[in-house]
Structure 1
Amino acid sequence: MMVHMVGIAQNVSFQLGSYRVIPNENCITYSQADECQKAILQPKFIDVLAYLASRYPEVVTREELIEHIWQGNTYVGSKALTNAIWHLRKQFNLFDSQIEVIETVRKTGYQLLIEPIFDEVIDELEPLLEQTQQQLDQTHSRVKYGIALFSLLVVILLMGTVWHLHQDKQRSKQTYIEQLTRLPGAERYPIVSPDGRWLVYGSRKDGKSTSLYLQSMKDSSLLSKRLTANTSSEMRAVWSPDNAYLYYASEQNRSGECQLTQLALASSKTKVIGECYRDHSAIDISPDGEHLYYIWRAKGAVRSGIYQLSLTAKEAKPKRLSCQTDCDFVDRDLAISQDGKVLAIARRFGHISEDIFVRDLVTNKERRLTQGLEDIRGLTWHTDNQRLIYSTETSGIRKGFVLDTVSGEIISLDIDGLSYPRYNLTGTELVYARYSKLYQIAQLAVAEQIPSMPFPLIVSEFSHRNPDYSDIAKRIAYVSNESGHNEIWTADDLGHSRRQHTQLKRRVAYPRWSPDGTMIAFLAPDENNEGNKIHILDISTGDISILASNYVSHRRLIWSFDNKRVLTSTDAGLFSFGLDNSQAQFLGDIRVRHGEFINDKELLLSRSGRKGLWKMSLDTPDQLSLVISSKKFTDYYNWVVTAKGVYFRQMASQYQIISFWDAQTEAVRPILKIPSSIISNIGALDYMAKRQQLLLTLADYSQRDIMRLQHKLLY
């Protein structure tokens, strides 16, 4: 009986206090006094709300909701359910922020807090019965046409059979992957010409500057052709619809000047059409070839964003489409639909989470499609203008997905290493960059006369990174994906006795021990998987608390000497947050990338946009002094303070050097020269004084190549 009632309730309109839910129209209306508002939501969101209403006042488990709404598909349903609840709450809050409609019951599920009042079922059924009777009467009066109708039915059945056979054939197609590039190098950002004949991609070979290369899609025996000079860097390009031009960002190696460039393929002539941000900035072109869309940061702009540039108007100026002030996000990637009507946007909240939005280019209205992705690595439209193919990196593993922009359904392509996909307009396939990366925590003995190469501290098939050592706890805190998610782990100074401390199943990052060795501060997204918040882990109890902050994004954390406060930069500047959740203290309009206290008042730090190592006093935070010049000190994160000086990484074009700055003599002494890119740019450096060893994060890159993919989900 319950199943029957639930089935009816799912289609029957009902009242929730001042709200009215109309499932057949996928809408919620709100009425109070003279005010009436209406919102259209995705069908799955309404299904979740209607199911909770049908079970009122019971608590409905997540498993039951996934089973009923997503037919038991846990992989899709788990994230989709969280997304649905978030959107429903957001919509109810827009109507009335004072009324809570849905409650989360910890470790169980969800409960509707307002009693639903369903419309009379008979009112819904009577028109249907009356209509059915009329149809029966009409059918009875037309019996003489039965033979013709039967013949028509046979034809329809035959057509249906043919269609289903075609669909079955499409579903039965096997996944086919072909490697398109084989030369040494790191190939990224592939794109096929509109006529399907040529492939263009960016590549870095032999540690030199990045360049664009052209390769035949029809004859794999032909060698690739370099399109751009070695005096500049280019990584990402887009074809004009007529196959005649390439558009890309070109960054001069010496001056750093970036120019938006048009390259004529027939003559190899280039033309500067504007300024750009960096060599791998996202770029796309409208199907009619009239507009470029790209990521740029104009002079005076606080942050980068999406710009539109006319390719036909004389002396056209870029038009900014992104938010400019008081924004809690940054637009990172984009792709325009094949009909030119919709722009898909990868948007980052804080420094950890990203999600996909779509923007109607006629109305400029935006709609959010995902909730709680980690790191989007490319997106592209299917030719049906409804599906998006995108790649994400989750806990160090990259995979591709197909997203239906209408239903919100997400299906995995189940292809490891898929990144920067691009759909081939002439077929039912895509090209992508195959990419895998393994992080390892390594130790480097710095007291030896002839230092050896760094070697892994923990040897496994999992990624371990961002080590931070406590002399008091005698343990190394680090991030590992050994459990399937990036979590906080610790190990002793030999890499043994490993222990997992968090089970957030969200992307945690950058652990830092408190000076007394009792706590670990780290960053992780909030409960909606957005931005990042300051988390404090109590090692003795395992309890985790979150420090109160009005900001979405926080940079790496710095403990105060007394273990009572944590310093970090936000978009508004440097703040000090108390563990007692007292009022945050504003220290100055400075963006600190990484810092370490050298006494209770002074700290050394690296700054956003300013190379060199700096010193700041809490008494005069606006007066900074340069400790190591920008010519010698260019790394933001890979450095550590010791009792005698600072170990840090120096970078060159084809190699890196681990060096030591002596605090007494102020001289810089090189310790070890290592290959380029062996140390992660977003890693961390630490020092174990007793063992006289550095801890660092190695980035083990495999060969990166361009691949062609045919897959049943792409038809």
Structure 2
Amino acid sequence: MKPNRAFNLSNCYVNPTEFSIQLDQGEKQSLQPKFIDVLCYLAQHHPRIIPREELINNIWGENSVVGDKSLTNAIWHLRKSLAEIDQGNGVIETIRKAGYRLVIEPQWSTNVTTTAHSNITVSDDTLQNDPQLKREAEQETDGLLAKTLQYRINKQTITWVVLAAFIAVVIGYFLGKPSHDPAVVTQVTKHPGSELFPSPSPDGRYVVYSQVSNNQPTNLFMKDTLQPQLPAQQLTFDTAIERHSVWSNDGQYLYFARTAKAGENCKYIQLKVLSRQEKAIANCPNRVGYFYLDISPDDKTLAIHGFNGDAEKSGIYFLDLTKENAPLERFSCKKGCDYKDRDMAFSPDGKHLAISRRFNRYSENIYLINIKTKETQQLTFNEEDIVGITWSDQSKIIYATHKAGVRSGFIIDVDKNTFTELNLPGFSYPKFTKQGRKLFYQQRQEISSIASLSLKADIASSPFPVVLSSFSHHSPDYSPINKRFVYVSNESGFYELWSANTRGEERKQLTFLKKNISLPKWSHDGKSIAFLASSEDNKHENIYIYSLVTQKISVLNSPFDRHNRPSWSLDDNKIIAAVYNNNATDLYSITIADGAVERLTHDNARYGIMNSPTTLLYAKVKRGLWQVDLTDKTTPPVQIIDGKEFTGLYAWDYYNNGVYFNKELKEHHILMFHDTVSGKSRPLVKLPLNSFYRRDIINYVPDEDSLLYTKSSYPQANIKMLENSPLLQ
């Protein structure tokens, strides 16, 4: 970091442009550029303790082989050169096993510094004696330079013409310079696992986040950004789950939801940060996965996301913090709504609420709502998944999107109706602090690939990648007739439909919809592929059918707006899919020819596969694998695999009287095989925890006696901080 602005350290004037220091208006002392760079970096980050590694990386570069010795040498020379400052008490302090800290607070100059080869200056007296020249200088510098020009001129040797020309050159030069310090991105956390949902204190010094690691409780931690060498403080100590949190504007309290892992108990907690005293202030609304929340600028109202049973869909509720045991009051639409309000952020004046409104998994956008009148304005269009909203000032909103597997950040200027991209990789869940104007965010990047696992006894059970690249590929489904599998990939910029052979070769893009699709499924005859994608207006989820014969795509004639992953009847005349409605979610069959509908289950089923012309295997939430005879309405469904053994909804496949499924344990996965004739199960292979997506399928390849699945690694997510960006001004 090399800011151009000069600064004072007590009685020492530091001029970065000239690489010089000047004590008590004495003679200038030139220093090596790297020495000045080190001093400027310490000054810019005062009073933070800067680790040696950070200084080396930022001054000499991460690949430098001489950085460590060079830093020691630079510190020695700086201390020697600055020894006279502050009566010899020292300027740069060594913090043992931590790094260096600038002891004296820098006083940043608003003066314009001249280039090293220029020694011509102009005094304030000259400007006062010529009011016209002063007015021109003030106009040219937008009021910033007139008060700080401290030039000296030998009036006997330089004419006014030369002086005016020089002022014009200086003003033009410095107006071309940025008036802000260089933008800085600081990595706040870098633990193994994921640090999620940053929540900075009002002054920006502390940031609270949720830490997720394998086999560890999900608790809240707090990091001191001014002392990054210190470990984070753990704020909560329990086996429950704490994710999103928000500080009160006075910096005294932290609010968050505490959810039991089983989901049967949830409370909103008020934590007094200084004393760590906790107080339960409300019950959490049920049936939500993300407990978004925000607090009004006057600290009187807590906005939360949930479902309290008083509406058809989840939405936003207000909790009055000034009253004990205050009820939750619904802010969002209650009934007759075709959307869900999810995340939210109060405007700085407290009069508006920016919210993310979701119509389906492919359509979520940001809306601005007047809290008093409910007047609503749509701000974004054609977004898919909003992953965080925050305000930087009264007219600017910073938000993050997750689209086609890519996380991006943007700034909306509400008054000007303009959008600016932040260009920060993996950007999500931003939180802005007005004091210090810092932007905290979560950087998270996930790359999925398609892997194959051989089940042959003479081959070691070790998965190997079939389709692996810097893009994301997932949801494979194999066709024995075509001897190929289909999958979705975002390498075109959208999640489109692709196919490949079992070695991942001869790849071919099948769809060019320029929209995101998901969950493809071959027909049994290998002639068609069903998949999910959004409707033309992005308000509904449609089932589409791609024909390999005609290479055309048609929309299934379904009366429903929301569908889950499709499968086929054995004769390929019907699509079977879970349907979401306000009353219940269950499996339906939809006839392709005429759109005729039949409800197949009545017990909260989510995914099914026909294992005979008359019987359906299906999974339901946390209750195992079941089978129902579709021709006998009087006989209840039969449980095939117990819920303790069969723990997933989608990670299973059926072939020839056998079910391949994933059993998730506390510390690992076990891929299992269940013989539907004998009723016995046996383990096939043990895999590391989080080695594949739980919501994705396992696909059996009979030709090779192997399994195809979406492979993932445990996602790495870190908290970062952006400072001094002109986009935040």
**TM-score normalised according to structure 2 size:** 0.73
Partner in structure 2 of residue 681 of structure 1: 694
Partner in structure 1 of residue 212 of structure 2: 204
Contact 1:506 1:529 in 2 (8 A): no
Partner in structure 2 of residue 579 of structure 1: 592
Partner in structure 2 of residue 74 of structure 1: none
Larger deviation: 488-497 or 293-302? 293-302
Matches within 5 A, 1:231-270: 231-253=239-261, 256-270=264-278
Whole-angstrom CA distance in 1 between matches of 2:178 and 2:390: 21
Q: Verify: 1:366 aligned to 2:376, yes or no.
A: yes
| SS of equivalent to 1:447 | coil
Do the aligned partners of residues 516 and 425 (structure 1) sit closer, same or farther apart at CA in structure 2, a change above 3 Å counting? same
Q: Which amino acid aligns with 1:332?
A: R
Q: Verify: 1:375 aligned to 2:385, yes or no.
A: yes
Q: CA deviation at 1:473?
A: 1.6
Partner in structure 1 of residue 69 of structure 2: none
Q: Which amino acid aligns with 1:363?
A: T
1:81-130 deviation per Cα after TM superposition (whole angstroms, max 9, x unaligned): xxxxxxxxxxxxxxxxxxxxxxxxxxxxxxxxxxxxxxxxxxxxxxxxxx
Partner in structure 2 of residue 617 of structure 1: 629
1:203-230 deviation per Cα after TM superposition (whole angstroms, max 9, x unaligned): 0134312110011021111110111113
Matches within 5 A, 1:328-407: 328-382=338-392, 384-407=393-416
Unaligned runs of 5+ in 2: 1-131, 146-170
Whole-angstrom CA distance in 1 between matches of 2:540 and 2:134: 58
Do the aligned partners of residues 670 and 402 (structure 1) sit closer, same or farther apart at CA in structure 2, a change above 3 Å counting? same
Partner in structure 1 of residue 657 of structure 2: 644
1:635-677 deviation per Cα after TM superposition (whole angstroms, max 9, x unaligned): 1111111213211111223322211222122222222222221
Of 310, 314, 337, the match for 1:304: 314
Q: Verify: 1:655 aligned to 2:664, yes or no.
A: no
Q: Verify: 1:435 aligned to 2:449, yes or no.
A: no
Of 331, 336, 341, the match for 1:321: 331
Contact 1:420 1:433 in 2 (8 A): yes
Whole-angstrom CA distance in 1 between matches of 2:262 and 2:451: 33
Number of residues paired by the alignment?
565
Q: Verify: 1:706 aligned to 2:716, yes or no.
A: no
| SS of equivalent to 1:452 | coil
Partner in structure 1 of residue 421 of structure 2: 412
Whole-angstrom CA distance in 2 between matches of 1:548 and 1:217: 56
Partner in structure 2 of residue 671 of structure 1: 684
1:314-359 deviation per Cα after TM superposition (whole angstroms, max 9, x unaligned): 3210011223333322223222212111111112222222111122
Q: CA deviation at 1:431?
A: 0.7
In terms of fraction of residues, the more helix-rich structure is 1
1:116-159 deviation per Cα after TM superposition (whole angstroms, max 9, x unaligned): xxxxxxxxxxxxxxxxxxxxxxxxxxxxxxxxxx9999698447
Contact 1:615 1:624 in 2 (8 A): yes
Partner in structure 1 of residue 10 of structure 2: none
Whole-angstrom CA distance in 1 between matches of 2:675 and 2:601: 29
Q: CA deviation at 1:255?
A: 6.7
Do the aligned partners of residues 393 and 263 (structure 1) sit closer, same or farther apart at CA in structure 2, a change above 3 Å counting? same
1:583-631 deviation per Cα after TM superposition (whole angstroms, max 9, x unaligned): 4444465544221111122211122x44311223333569433221211
Contact 1:446 1:694 in 2 (8 A): yes
Contact 2:290 2:305 in 1 (8 A): no
Contact 1:349 1:553 in 2 (8 A): no
Q: Verify: 1:455 aligned to 2:468, yes or no.
A: no
Q: Verify: 1:290 aligned to 2:280, yes or no.
A: no
Partner in structure 2 of residue 92 of structure 1: none
Q: Which amino acid aligns with 1:393?
A: H
Whole-angstrom CA distance in 2 between matches of 1:315 and 1:298: 16
Partner in structure 2 of residue 560 of structure 1: 569
Contact 1:349 1:552 in 2 (8 A): no
1:479-512 deviation per Cα after TM superposition (whole angstroms, max 9, x unaligned): 0112221100001122111000011111110101
Contact 1:209 1:231 in 2 (8 A): yes
Matches within 5 A, 1:618-633: 618-620=630-632, 623-633=636-646
Contact 1:568 1:592 in 2 (8 A): no
| SS of equivalent to 2:623 | strand
Q: CA deviation at 1:291?
A: 1.0
Partner in structure 2 of residue 75 of structure 1: none
1:498-537 deviation per Cα after TM superposition (whole angstroms, max 9, x unaligned): 0000111111101011111001111111223343211111
1:664-694 deviation per Cα after TM superposition (whole angstroms, max 9, x unaligned): 2222222222222111122221100110101
Partner in structure 2 of residue 466 of structure 1: 475
| SS of equivalent to 2:243 | coil
Contact 1:196 1:426 in 2 (8 A): yes
| SS of equivalent to 1:713 | helix
Q: Verify: 1:604 aligned to 2:617, yes or no.
A: yes
Matches within 5 A, 1:101-180: 157-158=139-140, 160=142, 174-180=182-188
Of 222, 238, 250, the match for 1:214: 222
Whole-angstrom CA distance in 1 between matches of 2:492 and 2:321: 50
Q: Verify: 1:228 aligned to 2:236, yes or no.
A: yes
Contact 1:531 1:552 in 2 (8 A): yes
Do the aligned partners of residues 447 and 301 (structure 1) sit closer, same or farther apart at CA in structure 2, a change above 3 Å counting? farther
Do the aligned partners of residues 159 and 612 (structure 1) sit closer, same or farther apart at CA in structure 2, a change above 3 Å counting? same
1:25-74 deviation per Cα after TM superposition (whole angstroms, max 9, x unaligned): xxxxxxxxxxxxxxxxxxxxxxxxxxxxxxxxxxxxxxxxxxxxxxxxxx
Larger deviation: 179-188 or 610-619? 610-619
Whole-angstrom CA distance in 2 between matches of 1:590 and 1:336: 40
**TM-score normalised according to structure 1 size:** 0.74
Contact 2:281 2:325 in 1 (8 A): no
From the CA coordinates, give the structure whose radius of gyration is larger: 2
1:218-268 deviation per Cα after TM superposition (whole angstroms, max 9, x unaligned): 111111011111322211111111211111111224674211111111221
* CA RMSD between the two structures: 2.6
Q: CA deviation at 1:173?
A: 5.7
Whole-angstrom CA distance in 1 between matches of 2:213 and 2:608: 34
Contact 2:625 2:642 in 1 (8 A): yes
Whole-angstrom CA distance in 2 between matches of 1:152 and 1:586: 83
Contact 2:556 2:595 in 1 (8 A): no
1:552-573 deviation per Cα after TM superposition (whole angstroms, max 9, x unaligned): 3211112112212212222235
Contact 2:361 2:384 in 1 (8 A): no
Partner in structure 2 of residue 534 of structure 1: 543
Q: Which amino acid aligns with 1:492?
A: N
Whole-angstrom CA distance in 1 between matches of 2:630 and 2:369: 45
Do the aligned partners of residues 219 and 338 (structure 1) sit closer, same or farther apart at CA in structure 2, a change above 3 Å counting? same
| SS of equivalent to 1:435 | strand
| SS of equivalent to 1:700 | coil
Whole-angstrom CA distance in 1 between matches of 2:684 and 2:335: 45
Whole-angstrom CA distance in 2 between matches of 1:375 and 1:685: 26
Q: Which amino acid aligns with 1:628?
A: I
